Amino acid sequence: MANSAIAQPQPNIVLVLTDDQPYGYLGVTGNKIAKTPNIDNLANQGLLFTNAHVTSAICTPSRVSILLSQYERKHGVNFNSGTAVAEKAWLQSYPVLLRQSGYHTGWVGKNHVPVGEDGYATGIMEKSFDYWYASHGHMRFYSKDTHPIFKEAENDTQLEIVSEGIADFMDTNEYRFKRAQTFLDARPKNQPFMLSINLNLPHGAGAREMAQRDKDDDIYKSLYRDKNIPLPKHYVAKKDIKQPKLPADLLRAKDRQVGYNYVDTEEDVTEMLIRQNQAMTGIDRLVGRLQDELKRHKVDDNTIIILTSDHGLFMGEFGLGGKALCYEKTTHVPLIIYDPRQTAKQQTSDALVQSIDVAPTILSYAGVTAPKSYQGEDLSGFYTHQTKTQREYVFTENLWSTHFGNPRCDAIQDNQWKYIRYYANHNLSANDKVKIAKQMGMKPSKVLYGYHDAAITQYRQFVEGPLQGESAVYEELYHIAQDPDELNNLVNSSQHQDKLAEMRNAWLPVIQQARGSGFPHVVRYTVDSQLEKRSKGKAKTY
């Protein structure tokens, strides 16, 4: 294996992005149940960042952050923002820039980023790639049931369908899937490629859809069902919650989306853990098949593989379900870089890295200059010599505060300490909305999903409020170096008031940097805008 990439051709690059995968779900990161030998080998032969964090622990804003290398507070897109990524912003995404620089680009699996005035229906994403084989929104476990683009696949299950898409993208003779949107008939042999593989597992909704159908692989039917599956550390069943992790008027657990109710009982959470572990082994097999394809096409020695997750997921720790908060279980994710052209000088790094670092790192490997709009850092130097990032603190946030009960919060942390701030939760109750909807003879989904124009102004206040003097109503301080499970909130400890004051003072410059300047490049994307567009024309781009 070479120690230098000098005089070698541009590398191929593959990004594998999983969904809802906390840091500890791999064998190499401590999972004692799921077998993940292929991914473990990538980490052992490459570089594993042990202290990587997402910026927002919820699907869409996290994935936008990865694509655009911006904190959510800068890019301005979430489920509740009433916006989609404007084409002006999308042109600065790493896939577009790589394609403009001569890379053959592909996107396989799931897309959860709305781009353009019609969001997922605009077609901008599909046209941005040389090969597109993906669905928008949630990608079902049995993907062919609901996503026509996958109808030609031989398999029925998500990971196996994605594996077929990977093999099709790699083909240099002729693409097999006619439903895939392609720019050329096959992948050019002498052109570097960038393939983004986006999964919807081990996502709770995806795992919940596993039905043990007759045609399913044994992985998804019997694997790990003979094992004693331990409950998560600090698991608390709903019936046993005596003191909630957060004040009840701040985190309104009663309004949580019902899809996360499996955390309420030991039986249900154990079943979900079995399915998630099955999914992790399925993902590992996908990575193994990816490596087999690279070898078959004789490009394995010049293809960099990066693997990470969009965020983690609560499994009943402290009685919590869902995601979105700033605790380690939801923000701490694996980040692996494997570069076969070089020998990693370190197998692990505890540097303060974030998901916004993925795009500038990819561009750096390709020899493409990152735009000034990027807020992340290039991590390629860690492979040979680098030990620290320029950031003093990791910044995480939740702006998805809705009738489903989650509060707004943001946090800063270094290798030793984490400081979290929460803001008043004045949202209406999902349960109350459902009750009224039923009284009016309406479908509950009509009042729970879909955002109107007023959501834009509310979301912008969520973004700007703390920067304009909005006070925190609750705070947490954790010595995560000694308390990684965040058990002991030290905010009221007399011995830690100096540290609290230090973190409070450090918070403002960090959130100001995350916010950046100017209005985000977004388009109005609401129920109202779509109705208006149908009658009057295009939505406005800011």
Domain ranges for the chain: 12-391, 397-538
What digits encode the pLDDT tens for the residues 151-171?
999 999 999 999 999 999 999
Residue 493 scores a pLDDT above 80: yes
What digits encode the pLDDT tens for the residues 7-30?
468 999 999 999 999 999 999 999
What digits encode the pLDDT tens for the residues 358-392?
999 999 999 999 999 999 999 999 999 999 999 99
Residue type, 316: G
What digits encode the pLDDT tens for the residues 332-345?
999 999 999 999 99
According to DSSP, the residues that pair with 306 across neighbouring strands are: 15, 337
Residue 184: predicted pLDDT? 86
Residue 6 scores a pLDDT above 50: no
Q: 12-391 — its CATH code?
A: 3.40.720.10
What digits encode the pLDDT tens for the residues 224-270?
999 999 999 999 999 999 999 999 999 999 999 999 999 999 999 99
Residue 176 scores a pLDDT above 90: yes
Q: Which residues contact 474 (CB under 8 A, 6 or more apart)?
A: 246, 247, 250, 421, 422
Looking at every residue in the chain, the average pLDDT score rounds to: 95
183 band by pLDDT with thresholds 50, 70 and 90: confident
Q: Which residues contact 457 (CB under 8 A, 6 or more apart)?
A: none
Residue 7: predicted pLDDT? 45
Structure tokens at 506: 């450090």
What digits encode the pLDDT tens for the residues 90-128?
999 999 999 999 999 999 999 999 999 999 999 999 999
Residue 4 scores a pLDDT above 70: no
Residue 139 scores a pLDDT above 50: yes
Residue 534: predicted pLDDT? 80
DSSP H helical ranges for 241-357? 266-296, 328-331
pTM score, whole prediction? 0.96
Cα dist from 489 to 310, 463, 478, whole Å: 26, 26, 6
Residue found by looking up tokens 């980040």 in the block: 335
Residue 397: predicted pLDDT? 98
Residue 542 scores a pLDDT above 60: no
Structure tokens at 155: 């398999």
Structure tokens at 334: 């694996």
Cα dist from 316 to 227, 236, 240, 283, 431, whole Å: 20, 6, 11, 23, 21
Cα dist from 434 to 47, 130, 259, whole Å: 48, 44, 15
Mean pLDDT of 392-415: 98
Mean pLDDT of 314-326: 97
φ and ψ at residue 120, rounded to 5 degrees: -70, -20
Structure tokens at 188: 């050019």
According to DSSP, the residues that pair with 383 across neighbouring strands are: none
Residues in the chain: 542
Cα separation, 454 vs 405, whole angstroms: 19
Mean pLDDT of 48-55: 98
Pairing assessment for the beta strands 353-354 and 47-53 based on DSSP bridges: parallel
